[in-house]
Amino acid sequence: MPPDPTNGLLWYIAFLYSTTCHESAHALAALKLGDDTAARGGQVSLNPWPHLRRAPVGMVVVPVICWIAGGWIIGWASTPFDPEWARRFPRRMALMALAGPAANLALLVIAAALLRLGLEWHQFTVPYGVAPSRIVDVAAAGLFPFAGHLLSIVFSLNLLLLVFNLLPVPPLDGSSLPLLLLPAAAADQYFSLVRSPVVRTIGLLVIFRSSGLWFGPLLRHAASLLFLGLNPT
């Protein structure tokens, strides 16, 4: 059966704006911490266009192909920064890196709050089983099925982006966490290591091979926290 185009469109919209928020948070943090590279490229913006323009393959081509071929979306984007600024201020670099996952955490909390509100108001119900596109069942008609579907996707996607990007593996944002603690000389050596193309390629292979093992249990655990005190239908 081919992937549902409506579901695919909602996943792509959620991916586009979640990724835009992630990258614009990086850009804003860098600007506040002394590097205006991304700001000069227009990336301190919730307008997706500057981010699409920088990474059209990762934000359009690959997600669309993946959905058509396999019914799932994967992609990437990036925020430019001055490597010399990062070398001089490794802790600022780490804080800039953490700003992206922080944006995904904010979106996750908003989606969770709205889902819980719908559950408390009996517009949504607790399902017997969750899936990335179906965190809740819908009891009401009108716009509620659409809202439940979209909020489920935003919840699932931003949970994935948050945890995925915090993994301490290059080239993900979490690989910058040691820069918060390392002394200057060690931070410079570490920065050079994690920017190595070989290390980054190995990191991506390890992450993509392992992500299928941990995301399902993580999603079920997160949903169980969302449903605390409620009963399944």
Catalytic residue list: 23
Amino acid at 57: V
Tokens of 118: 């719908």
Q: Are 155 and 116 in contact (CB under 8 A)?
A: no
Alpha-carbon span 83 to 89, nearest angstrom: 10
Count of C-beta atoms within a 10 Å radius of residue 142: 9
Counting every residue, how long is the chain? 233
Q: Which long-range contacts (CB under 8 A, 24 or more apart) does 57-60 make?
A: 59/16, 59/19
Strands, DSSP E only, in the chain?
124-125, 137-138
Cis omega before residue 171 (within 30°)? yes
Buried b (16+ CB within 10 A) or exposed e, 17-49: ebbbbbbbbbbbbbbebebebbbebebbbeebe
Tokens of 58: 């990762």
